Structure 1
Amino acid sequence: MLKSLRKRIFENITFTAAISTPGSVLAYCLEDQLVFFDSHSLKKSSYRNEGSSRCAALDFARTSTNIFLSGDFDGTLRLWDLRNPRQPTSTSEAGRNFLPKGATFNAAAISPDARLVCTGSCAVTRKRGRIDKTNKSKRPCKSLNEEISGDRNGDVCDDDGDGTEPSAYLLCWDTRQMVRPLLMLNDVHSDDVNHLVFETNSPSASSRLLSCADDGLVCLTDLSAPPEDRLIEVFNAERQANCCGFLNPVVSTDVSIGVYAFHNMRSHFTAWSLTSEEDYSQWQRLKTPPHARYLLCAARLPSHQPAVCLLSTSAVKRDLRLSLVNSENAKIVARRRLFKEEVKLDSDAFYADVVCSSTMEGILEILVVTRHSIHRLLGKVPE
């Protein structure tokens, strides 16, 4: 069952990025506005954002819920406070200034405690060479795979290769000092980084970052670990992945933690266990059901065995499909059109999130954002 609770349509606003927080939904618009919605009433507040580059991603600090992050196409990261969102509290230098010419960014994330922020780049090819420090107009090339400290000149690019192989970069900042990146990693992904998310299951794991890219790899990295221990796990999705996340336990009987990745255009969902090798085959059997054309979201369901809820939409992206997936079955259990009538606006659904309002009864509150609308729905997962 899927029931529409509330809907708002905006003809003069085009949403391009969104993220839900406890009690609110944040969205960015082509009109250079940050828009805040109350997640219950969908009441809107908007603020002008005078940025120099298009916003590519939004995220919020899960344990410091007043703090959120916007990441721009040029790698600029901005920290905002929901209590005073008229201007950012802190802004980084554009990430592209630390990378070879042509670098762009599509992903950004903030740690649960708001201490670390990270952005991921497209694949770029870096030429070897030494920066002429007498020419201040040239772009500096900081050292890679090491902490950038004040005593480094940053004039030599440390790379064992010939500099012609493309590589994607993860840039990480300490939010207390947003002038220069704390870390620059180019050995995690070889192709465009599409999504980043920090682990929230444990306060001690707030520096663990999950990333996915066009190289088909899903990587779990500990940004606080020494270089030789930084890469914790690497999973192979066997094709491009543009969304990833953690499938954390919902109730105490769920002992295993999983991660997932999918490519929403190709309807390919894959999950892996992080805690038990015995559960590996069960997690691998979680598959996308037929007719779940465009994947939007995955959420863990309470179960002794791995089970997830998938939200997807049709090829024209104007309906919502709720799927129940476990190791034995994968099927769509509910569908609902987002619009009763044909709308002339580009109303493609691009973001959805699930809030478990009653995990034991299988009642899910769902938020969906399209290019020109926002929807609040109630879903029922059959037992």
Structure 2
Amino acid sequence: MININETNKKHCCGCTACESVCHKKCISMQTDNEGFKYPVVDKTKCVNCRLCEKVCPILNKTHNVFPNTAYIVRNKNSEIVRSSTSGGAVTAFSKEIINNGGIVFGGAFDGNFYVKHTYAETESELSKFRSSKYVQSDMGTTFTEVKQQLDNGKFVMFTGTPCQVEGLQNYLRKPYDNLFTIDFVCRAVPSPLVWEKYREFMEKKFGSEITYANFREKTYGYHSANLTLRFANGKKSIENTNTDYMLKSFFKGICSRPSCYDCKFREPGRVSDLTVFDCWNITRYVNGLADDDKGYTAVIIQSTKGAKLFEKAKHNLIVYPADPKLLLENDGHMAMENPKYHKNRKEYFEMLNNGYNIEQVVKKYIPIKISRKIFGKFRGFFYKTGILRFLKKLKIK
């Protein structure tokens, strides 16, 4: 049976394949003191069939060949690009599934801004999936819902992290021609607890409930995206990776799931049909094309099904051929490089669980430089005057 404890938490990615496959319903995903969910087995009900072990993606890792086809794309709909993390590619792929009577599963905010996997059956519903959510999503009963839709003959698209995609495919235990999977190259999945503590702090600071959240809003362009919050009282917060407490915690590697520091899924060849990630350096791949700072998506074809879906969605995309090796080396290096484990990670969570707010914890272990705070306050001015664009060009060079 699956046995995850305090000593081996890096061996669980939280995909829920084990819980979903258990016929005796003796496995439940329970939240630990860091906010991450792990399987707990009721041994009085377990019959030791070991199905949970057989579907675990970490225990049964699949290795794929190096991909040989890649593209850089952007959605032709400028509004979709504006509201997307990068170029709006996944929306184009999802639209094809929806238009064929299918259903799309992905991570989205619920009414309380928790990140959960849910589904969309109409084009208008796809907007909730746009823009990255730097929090591990709660899978709930998604895997069983996907299987039910597949067995009913519906086209299904599932989007998620590489471990979630592989967990789903292991749980299904057989290929489905009507299933399409997309994984995104991720740095890691941050703690839902940290996101919750952050929201509590920000609502107290601004004296109002959050009504809108976007981890990658392009207020100052694609290359200077920020975490934007809006509140019921009309106030808003716009902070970047160097000044925001949540983003700072994530990018410093202090609040990620233990399995992310030793990820078994960081390789160019994936079991998904398509792999997507940010294309930061469009001018390196397409001669004569200027970077307008709106964002492009890198797409790697991982299967024949992925290639067919890409061809069907091309009419909604601006497409440039690319070298997958070059893309992975420059913009997709996170597909192969694990984030560094922060030396104060344990103390960070202990302090957070002992009643300190996220501002106090960040100041203690990953303090924000005064110069960053000052620059952050004047970003709006720098953006309007063109100084920010000039500084970004210098950084790219």
Higher normalized strand content (fraction of residues): 1
**TM > 0.5 between the two?**
no
TM-score range, shorter chain: under 0.3
| Larger RCO of the pair (alpha carbons < 8 Å, separation 6+) | 2
Higher normalized helix content (fraction of residues): 2
Give TM-score, length-normalised by structure 1. Answer: 0.27
Give TM-score, length-normalised by structure 2. Answer: 0.26
